[in-house]
Structures are given as C-alpha cells and as structure tokens.
Amino acid sequence: MSTEQHTGAPSSTRWLITGAAGMLGRDLAEVLAEAGAEVTALTRKDLDVTDAEAVRAAVAGHDVVVNAAAWTDVDGAETEEAAATRINGDGPRALAAACADSGAVLLQVSTDYVFPGDATEPYPHDAATSPVNAYGRSKLAGERAVAELLPERGYVVRTAWLYGAHGRNFVSTMLGLAEQRETLDVVDDQRGQPTWTRALARQLRDLGEAAVAGRAPAGVYHGTASETATWFDLARAAFELTGLDPQRVRPTTSEKFVRPARRPSYSVLAHERWAEAGVAVQPHWREQLAEALRTMAPGKNPGAPQTPAPRGRSGA
C-alpha cells in the first residue's frame, strides 16, 4: 500500500527548497514535481542560508519555502556548536525574516532532539523542550526564530529517525553491513518512529498546500511515522523485508555504543495537530519501510559503511 495522499491535481503553488541535495530535499523535489508544482531546488552551493541578503533574493517570488538545509552531524556539533547553530539557528532566522517580508509560508524541518527523551508517552506538539545535546540546542534555536519572526505563516515540522534512497542512513547501513558480517548487534533500548523521507516529503507537500489555502494553523507539527520501534526492531524488519534472516540481528544496549552526543532514549512524537490542518498522519513505520525498500537497492546505496560519513552540514 502506498503512503501517497495527494489527489494528483496540478499545483500552482511556487515552492523553494533549501538543502535540495540532501536526502529529504531530493525526495521533496521529486514529490512536488510529480504534483505539477513549480519548484526551485537550491543546494548548499546555490544558497548559503546564513547569508541574509542572498536568502531574501532567493525567497522572493515563492509561495512556500521548505528549509531542509541543516547541520546534521550530531556528534560533531558537540565540539562545533557555534558552527552548527549558525546553520540550524541563524539560517532559519534569515529565512523567516525573508518570508515575513515577502509573504511566503515557511516550513522549517526540525527534530525530536529538542526533547530530553525521558517521557513515557508521545510528546505533544506543545510539550516543554529541553535538548540534551548541542545538535538539539541548535535546532531549537531555529524553531524559536521561526516562532518569533513568522508567527502567522511559520510551520515547524519535527521529524526523527529518517532514512531514504538518497543519503547515508541507518537502514541502508544495516543492509550494507549484512553483506560483510554474519551477525549485527543493534541497540534495543532507544524507541522512536522510523520515518521514510518520501513519506515526510508527501506530508510537507500537503501541509504547504493547506497553509497557502489558509486551512492549516501555524505552529508546530510532528512529522513521523505511526507506531514505534527500536533500532533493533527496525534492523530486523529491514532484514526480513529484503529476504535476509532477521535472527542475524541481535539486541544490545546503548552502553555498548557510546557516542560523543547523548541520544534521547524515547523519541516518540504525537500527531494530534494534523487533523487541524486536514492533512493525514503518516502510515505505520513498517508500511513505509516496505515501500521504501523497493527503491533502495542493498549494496548499491550511499549508506554502505565503506562510504565516509559526511562531515558537518548535509544538503545545505
């Protein structure tokens, strides 16, 4: 079953995507093109989102701006927080200011990492934020800039556990490692919502259209898959759905994989606001994964472990 929700009617909305070379940005450009929208897709080489004058010029003439440009190196942000905040905080501020002047809608992609991860029930959109790492703090700075400068046309869409066909990610890495190792030990004490970038792109498309039509209240939305899993659950499902033996994936704890940046143990987000916008929530994570794997060829993906991890910003 497809996660597609759109009616297929051509869109007259003029879209600008920043970070268009990233995993989400590429899927979003494809989804919008398929809907017949007019799309300007800018990569990091095309636009520095921290350059206010360049941003102002780029935003002019567009109805909806989606900021998919970001510093995504979570561990690197621990030692380079100022640099991460320039992109994740100052970038959204420049975009929000430009949208305030031009009248455009801004969809700012954010993260579950703005929460501490100590909850036992899904975080609602208005839950108190308290990041536990530098990356989360940098993204929260971007959220606050949008709320401050664009209260009527600013939309923050928090997402989490992203994977897709166009970038290095957990699913493609697991399938790459399956070709090299007999067994894999995967963390089973962190819980979240594995989200396919194309499913998120479709939801962003629908939210942007609803915003332009005046149907979607501004503010925070949570753009993640329905239902929850651990990384262990996700790895086993990826093995199973690609014909591999899921018993090759073994559970372990976060203590076995110490990283510079602390990770939230509970990254489950509530989806109650989508009904207000008239936009469907995303399907079950397993349904998304099954559709996604048909587009992700094991062993031929950018997430294979022999490919060096990108440093610093991604898709900006």
Contact 108, 64 (CB under 8 A): no
- Catalytic residue, from 135, 163, 221, 266: name it: 135
Give the Cα-Cα-Cα angle 307, 310, 313 (nearest 5 degrees): 165
In terms of Cα–Cα distance, which of 172, 142, 139, 152 is closest to 261?
139
Q: Are 69 and 43 in contact (CB under 8 A)?
A: no
Specify whether 135 is catalytic.
yes
Decide: 197 and 164 in contact? Cβ < 8 Å: yes
Q: Which amino acid is at 130?
A: S
96: enclosing H helix or E strand: helix 91-102
228: Cβ contacts below 8 Å, ≥ 6 apart: 191, 192, 193, 268, 285
Residues 6+ apart with CB under 8 A from 127: 115, 119
Residues with catalytic function: 135
